[in-house]
Structure 1
Amino acid sequence: MDPVAVASQCLRVLVLALILGAPLPRAWAQGPQAAFPPDHAAVRAAWRPSDVRLLASDGKELQRLRTDFSSRRGDWLPLADVSAALLRAVVASEDRRFYTHGGVDWLASASAAWSSAWGIGARRGASTLSMQLAAFLDPTLRRGPAGRGILQKLDQMQAAMALESRWTKSEILEAYLNLAAWRGELVGVDALSRVLFQKHASGLNLREAALAAVLLRGPNAPVPLLVQRSCALMRELGRPDACHGLRGFVQAALSRAGEARFDAPALAPHWTRLLRDVGLADARGEIHSTLDRGLQEAAVRSVRRRLGELRGTGVTDAAVVVLDNRSGAVLAYVGSSGVLSEAAQVDHARAVRQAGSTLKPFLYAMALDQQRLTAASLLDDSPVGLDGGGGLYVPDNYDHRFGGWVSARTALASSLNVPAVRTLMLVGPDALAARLSALGLPLDRGGDYYGYSLALGSADVTLLSLSNAYRALARGGDYAPVNLSARPGSEAQGGIRLYSPEAAWIVGDMLADRAARARTFGLDSPLTTRFWTAVKTGTSRDMRDNWCVGWSIDYTVGVWVGNSAGASMRDVSGVSGAGPIWHDVFDWLYRRHAPPQPARPPGVTGQAVSFAGLEPERIEYFLGDTAQARFVPPDLAADHGRPRIAEPVDGTILALDPDIPWDRQRLRLRAVDARSRSVTDARWFLDGQPYGQGPGMVPDWAPSPGTHVFELRSPQGTVLDRSRVFVRGGRFAVGEAVWDVGAGRPGGPGTGNHPDAQGKH
């Protein structure tokens, strides 16, 4: 604006001031203020949404997380992204001479001053869009509780003219629409359109634009007044027909004031919260992550689809983590199943859950490194009783069957429990607990606390920490923490050597062996992929959690399935619950190519081995000089498969249950050979007396209090195996009477108060 025009406008303000009888503001007496207005680009750059924005590796938005609750602000929108209908409605409602005045509408100001001075007509404001914007930019110009005084009004006029001298009309209108408060906590046209109207600002129609424009005049005005003003504005704009049904439209729009933003992706809320909490948001409120947008979407889809298939089994939640083996970057992170979850805000990827069988690979890797066993070593998969401090610990397999002698390869791949416990007896619970802690798992107790149950995953872990521990195996035994601050293309992480590359490679080869896992999972299951992957499942006690974690040469993928309340699932295991999601994620990762198998370390040698018919002959892999060609179980080598007592386990302690009638309580007797097949020609003896012979001919035993010894004898009378059982007595109710079962057999000598011995009660 030229000096003549500025002088003319100043003269008009002076005249107006004289009319109103007010002195000039001090700022005007000292000349124009140099600090106002700020540059338009600076105002735009200083704008901050009320949300932190998570950006994928390609820069696209994945998630918004609200962090400022003083107001609800969206993005700064350029004028080109705002509908023409809204621009027209705002100008018509707020400042009809906007494009012709220089910041102050003198005609409207004079009319308002005249009406105010003489009390003629209703009081009217004369603030232009430029004057309102000046108040947005300068807090000293904002209306106070008692309104604006004359001096403040004149300051506002001066600021508006300064704005007009430096900003274009488009810049003024753009800034106004982005800085204005519309309704309640909604500030800015982006928040307004995406929340109240659930659409982009570029798509607002005339009716929506009219309601938005009148909200500027009274952001919290009641519905009847908003309907009246909107209808009047639409009539002024030549569309009186749009007033039909306006009340319902206004009520519906205002009812959405608390809804989520329209078209805002919500793919990674838990990862956004975690990165925000560790301070990775920049000055603009943006978090630049390594999440792959396509992979994240695929993981979310798989969770929702697979959980839908499990409806009715007690499953409501799931979590997925995908890690880059090389850099430690998180490529996908699903913390819950969203709308399917009973606790969608809980980050189940960082919730502590019982690990189940997922800890077994770390145990076997330790045993291999210590050369306590090889992948071909035979382990006895038969009942075993261990002193658990508070009683006898008798581990069982998932399918409640025992396989006799099996190789370590089969035991790990098929997730057999008893061989894992026997392996832990070689390694030691303390050593395993220390190694698991070194792998970043959140164990808060030592090995003596968990005991031998640690082999079966009695410790609590999180999916994120467990997946990263598996990444150490994928990296050849080299552990490094999850790289939260990684960026796309980050360098490979340095780590700490916890396993030898040879042991890590052999464990991976065992977990990738489809034939070795066939005993438990079959040849065709979700664990089978068309490319090389090593995978392990796990199911916690009482079916509360199930897991599927595995890796390829490039990625480690972990999946947890369960529910936030911790209730048991029904007929869901790691292979049927978490396994399909795991398979889906890996299928997406390698949808265009197949990865190679990790190269075999130089310290691993291959050797043809046989197992005396227990398992098929094959090429097996060994560390250093541990290779051998033939593996035969001790029973077969020494006595050609001498039978043994499978049940009861030697040292079993039983207690009669007073809630079950004493004559209904039974203990099963079972004898097997070295291959866990039923024995047909062995004879049972109880406390030195014959008891029965052969399968189907040995009746279940009715326990009696005391110490008893079972023996298995050959037809020639040779003792083949012996098992000692301790039975504690109990107190039973018979009719209205109560009697104690003490030492000896109930009803026999020594009871003295058995109902049958007394004849009646």
Structure 2
Amino acid sequence: MRSKRRWAGLLLALCAVPALAAPRFAAVKAAWQPSDVLLLDRHGAPLQQLRVDKRAQRLAWVSLADISPALRYALVLSEDRRFYQHSGVDWSGVAAAAWGNLWHSRTRGASTLTMQLAGLLDEDLRATAGGRSLWQKLGQGWSARALEQEWRKDEILEAYLNLVSFRGEQVGLAAVSQALFGKLPSGLNRVEAAIIVALLRGPNAGTERVVARACGILQAMDSDSARLGGQPSAAADSQRDCARASVLGSQALSYRRAAPAWQAPLAPHFGYKLLQQLQPAAGSRIATTLDAGLQRYATAVLQRHLRALAQRNVQDGAVVVLDNASGDILAWVGSSGRLSSAANVDGVTALRQAGSTLKPFLYQLALERRYLSAASLLDDSPLDMQTAAGLYAPQNYARDFKGPVSVRTALASSLNVPAVRTIAMVGAPALRDRLYALGLSSLQNDGDYYGYSLALGAADVRLLELANAYRTLAQGGLYSAPRWTLAQPRPAPQRRLAAASSFIIADILSDRTARARTFGLESVLSTRYWSAVKTGTSKDMRDNWTLGFSRRYTVGVWVGNAGGEPMWDVSGMHGAAPVWQSVLDYLQRGLASLPPPAPPGVRQQAVRYQGEVEAARQEYFLAGSERRLILPQQAATRAAAGIVAPLDGSIYAVDPDIPPANQRLLLRARGVAGAQWWLDGRRIARGASVPWFPWPGRHRLELRDGSGKLVERVNFEVRGAVAKPGSRAPGAR
């Protein structure tokens, strides 16, 4: 009797209470907020959607016109047959529900789609775990009548399908359609529509219950079609649809489908980093600087090339493209995707050893300080250098030596020994400071930490930062940070490198003749237009790089393994360079890239070499450093003149287990005629190589030429046994 009185009271209340004010459809639609952020490329094309609201999955609002007719038909037939006849409350349904509760002791739903929508719009009307109270049901009826007075039927259907919760965290038809079938709502067929509608009665019901209800909906659709005079489906067709619903429902409800092709992320690593920076609100639309077409092309080129290298133990790679003038990031390929066992690792920002890619900035320092010019000769011969960590003996990539070579050849052909001789002049601290000023933020330690090996790239860097440093070269020494979104103002460029030396370094990197000693005249580094490029390979072939630029674009490519495993016989020419060339060719199609004009402060002079060390040519010089004739022996001597050992700041230890007569420190000079050695203000020996007993204490060592003129001074320390009173250092004079 209590149930009877409840339903009777509900009927009387709905008849007596006037309709309440309803929200406007336009306001509800405008207030809709997807759980994702939509990233657009620079032309407005969708790049990807990124989830930021973890409470529920909501996609973009879907208009009724973009929802398949099959789903609309299944929904109305299953949930509210008299939807187009009633005015918010289906009195026949209420009566039937009351009758069923009175005589059959089981609840039968009487809520219309409009009443359900009212419950979605008003938090006070939402059902709890125990169902809705009598007053909530009354409120649903009042609100439904108000909605019917203010809204059209199509607006009610559209709002309901966007606001209703489906399975798990999915809210709205767009979310469930993607999750279950990888489709837009417009593409749902009748079987898929029946499965989705079946979820409304039990969103988290088991697969068998959902499939059984979907089969009932399909049969009801056939029966209704026959009743309305349509062509009825044969029994075999109905059975076939039910069988399809069983198979499709089992698949769709048992696992989460990957994002469909139309929504697959084009730049997942870029998007993740961008969200970390901006922390945008759910529903935001962000216009990025990426170019979707270029992003697709760069991804495809990298994956195709890595497939070709699969037999050489290579599975990872990364590509970044920058616009020289604006700094806009045009492409960001963080990994090889499905080819990688560590696809989530972002190769654009991961720390990897730089290899020879730092050499251009080393030689630029030497040019700026007038230690060298592009025509200066360096000795590419075996070299042993004593450091605090032990003996350092750099080798060239080809394991051979070229003899006297110009700076132009040494840099373009990426010779290691000349680079080490150059950093001995410039100093590792100066190179480290220069690289740090160019944005290589990973170089946190001082230059002495890296030592001479910094010339050969024994430091971990990020591809994005390294590419931007090369972009600074391309811009004549003007630095600015990369730009991620079109809404960001373009940062004002800052002078970080001299324009004149930047021009000379770029000219060297564009010189295919100068790089022929290592790479040959025709290689993947040579382009049909003007471009400057440098390769690099780290120790044991763990990292392979190619960085280069045209007048308009800078492209950086890294190839290797995210886990650090060595590649098998993969050089810069076979690893990153082919990808670099393909991407830059794509960018330059239809565009000219002529050599840049020389800036003020650059002079061009004819040079020739004695002994035909290198061919005569026109060479660029910084104003005031021109030379018409370069003698190889003299130039090499001038470049290396000074103290080879000990190094400034070295610390030596006397070993008590070795007889004193067998412990000697070799004082070595280079390029000084009549060399004299002065220790702590006293001359101790003559000659280019002098053995000296390592006497404990702090010492100041001077190298002077035959006339007594100071060439170089270093300080070093010897630790160990204490000298006896009254004794003096052996060898002292």
* TM-score tier (shorter): 0.7 to 0.9
> Percent identical across equivalent pairs?
50
Distance 1:227 1:106, change over 3 A: same
Partner of 2:621: 622
Residue 287 of structure 2 contacts residue 486 of structure 2 at CA under 8 Å; is this kept in 1?
Answer: no
1:293 CA displacement: 0.9
**Shift of residue 287, structure 1, vs aligned partner:** 2.1
Map 1:46-85 → 2, pairs under 5 A: 46-85=31-70
- The equivalent of 1:194 in structure 2 is 178
- Mapping of residues 108-257 of structure 1, within 5 Å: 108-116=93-101, 118-120=102-104, 122-238=106-222, 239=233, 240-241=238-239, 242-257=241-256
* Matched pairs, number: 634
User: Structure 1 residues 590 and 388 mapped into 2: Cα distance closer, same or farther (>3 Å)?
Assistant: same
Residues 83-92 or 281-290, more deviating: 281-290
Query: How far apart are 1:76 and its partner, in Å?
Result: 1.3
Q: Which moved more, 1:534-543 or 1:623-632?
A: 623-632
> 1:282, CA displacement in angstroms?
5.5
Residue 535 in 1 paired to residue 533 in 2?
yes
Question: Measured at CA, do residues 596 and 333 of structure 1 come closer, stay the same or move farther in structure 2, by a change above 3 Å?
Answer: same
2:352 aligns with 353
Q: CA deviation at 1:707?
A: 9.0
Classify 1:150/1:407 alpha carbon distance in 2 versus 1 (closer, same or farther; 3 Å): same
Residue 481 of structure 1: aligned partner: 481
CA distance in 2, matches of 1:286, 1:637: 60
Structure 2: 5+ residue runs without aligned partners?
A: 223-232, 638-643, 647-661, 667-686, 693-733
Is the CA contact 2:52–2:282 (under 8 Å) kept in the aligned structure 1? no
CA contact (8 A) 2:313 2:568 kept: yes
Comparing 505-514 with 237-246, greater Cα deviation is found at 237-246
Residues 101, 306 of structure 1: alpha-carbon distance in 2 compared, 3 angstrom cutoff: same
Question: How big is each residue's C-alpha offset from its partner over 1:358-408, in whole Å with a ceiling of 9 and x where there is no partner?
Answer: 111111111111111111111111112212102111111111111010000
How far residue 119 of structure 1 moved from its aligned partner, in angstroms, is 3.0
| Amino acid in the other structure paired with 2:554 | T
- State the Cα deviation string for residues 244-273 of structure 1 (Å, max 9, x = none): 343222201212435334531321011111
Counterparts of 1:650 and 1:145, CA distance in 2: 83
Determine helix, strand or coil for the equivalent of 1:458: coil
1:451 counterpart letter in structure 2: G
Give, in angstroms, the shift of residue 74 of structure 1: 2.1
Partner of 1:581: 579
Contact 1:194–1:262 (8 Å) recurs in 2: no
Query: What amino acid is aligned across from residue 324 of structure 1 in structure 2?
Result: D
Q: Which amino acid aligns with 2:424?
A: M
- Tell me the distance in 2 between the aligned counterparts of 1:174 and 1:52: 22
Deviations 1:165-207 (A, max 9, x none): 1111111111111112222222211122222112221111111
Give the direction of change, closer, same or farther, for the CA distance of 1:389–1:66 in structure 2 (3 Å limit): same
- For 2:510, the equivalent position in structure 1 comes to 512
Amino acid of the structure 2 residue aligned with 1:156: Q
Which stretch of structure 1 is more off in the superposition, 48-57 or 259-268?
Answer: 259-268
Secondary structure of the 1:383 match is coil
Structure 1 pair 468/338, CA: closer, same or farther in 2 (3 Å)? same
Quote how far apart the aligned CAs of 1:617 are: 1.3
Choose 285-294 or 241-250, whichever is displaced more. Answer: 241-250
Q: TM-score, normalised by structure 1?
A: 0.79
Residue equivalent to 1:291: 290
Amino acid corresponding to residue 57 of structure 2 in structure 1: R
For 2:8, the equivalent position in structure 1 comes to 19
Matched, 1:560 2:524: no
- The change in CA–CA distance for 1:95 and 1:279 in structure 2 (over 3 A counts) is same
Other structure's SS at 1:615 match: coil
Q: 2:466: which partner in 1?
A: 466
Contact 1:476 1:501 (C-alpha < 8 Å) held by counterparts: yes
Q: Deviations over 1:215-274 (max 9, x none)?
A: 111112222222222222111111424223432222012124353345313210111111
The whole-number CA distance in structure 2 between the counterparts of 1:244 and 1:272 is: 41
**Separation of aligned partners in 2, 1:420 and 1:256:** 57
AA in 1 matched with 2:167: R
* Residue matched to 1:392: 391
Letter of the 1:231 counterpart: C
1:522-541 alpha-carbon deviations (Å, 9 max, x no partner): 12221111111111111111
> CA shift at 1:637, angstroms?
10
Corresponding position: 1:279 with 2:263: no
Report if aligned partners of 1:369, 1:499 keep a CA contact under 8 Å in 2.
Answer: no
What is the Cα deviation at residue 460 of structure 1?
Answer: 1.1
Distance 1:201 1:625, change over 3 A: same
Query: 2:194 and 2:334 mapped to 1: Cα distance?
Result: 42
Summarize the Cα distance change of 1:320–1:637 in structure 2 as closer, same or farther, 3 Å threshold. Answer: closer
Determine the C-alpha separation between the residues in 2 that align with 1:509 and 1:257. 54
**SS of aligned partner of 2:142:** helix
> Does the 8 Å contact 1:365/1:503 carry over to 2?
yes
Contact 1:650/1:724 (<8 A) preserved: no
Match of 1:452 in 2: 452
For 2:81 and 2:5, locate their aligned partners in 1 and report how far apart those are by CA, in whole Å: 21
Q: Work out the CA distance in 2 between the residues paired with 1:633 and 1:516.
A: 17
> CA-to-partner distance for each residue in 1:698-718, whole Å, 9 max, x for gaps?
xxxxxxx99999xxxxxxxxx
Distance 2:427 2:511 in 1: 27
CA distance in 2, matches of 1:466, 1:478: 15
Whole-Å separation in 1 of the counterparts to 2:26 and 2:406: 71
Aligned position for 2:80: 95
Question: Is the partner of 1:96 in helix, strand or coil?
Answer: coil
Where structure 1 has 5 or more consecutive residues not aligned to the other structure, the ranges are 1-14, 639-648, 652-704, 710-720, 727-761
Say if 1:273 and 1:33 are closer, same or farther in 2 by CA, change over 3 A.
Answer: same
CA contact (8 A) 2:317 2:559 kept: yes
Whether the 8 Å contact between 1:22 and 1:150 is mirrored in structure 2 is: no
Residues 44/597 of structure 1: CA separation in 2 closer, same or farther (3 Å cut): farther
The letter of the residue matching 2:262 is D
Q: How does 1:295-694 map to 2 (within 5 A)?
A: 295-442=294-441, 443-487=443-487, 493-612=491-610, 613-634=612-633
Deviation at 1:486, TM superposition (A): 4.0
Conserved? CA contact 2:613–2:632, under 8 Å:
no
Residues 89 and 115 in structure 2, CA contact (< 8 A), matched pair in contact too: yes
C-alpha displacement of 1:495: 2.4
Any conservation in 1 of the 2:42–2:486 contact (CA below 8 Å)?
no
CA offset at residue 466 of structure 1?
0.6
Counterpart AA for 1:237 = M
When residues 277 and 476 of structure 1 are mapped into structure 2, their CA distance, relative to the original with a 3 A threshold, is same
Indicate if the aligned counterparts of 2:321 and 2:331 stay in contact, CA closer than 8 A: yes
Q: C-alpha deviations, 1:722-757, integer Å up to 9, x for none?
A: 98999xxxxxxxxxxxxxxxxxxxxxxxxxxxxxxx
- 8 Å contact kept, 1:353–1:462: yes
Letter in 2 for 1:96: R
Q: 1:165 to 1:197 in 2, by over 3 A?
A: same
Quick one: structure 1 residues 334 and 636, their matched pair in 2 at CA, closer, same or farther if it must change by over 3 Å?
Answer: closer
Change (3 A) 1:364 1:635: closer
Q: 1:723 to 1:384 in 2, by over 3 A?
A: farther
Shift of 1:491: 7.0
Query: 1: CA distance between counterparts of 2:279 and 2:531?
Result: 33
CA–CA distance in 2 between the matches of 1:22 and 1:124?
15
User: Equivalent residue of 1:375, what SS?
Assistant: coil
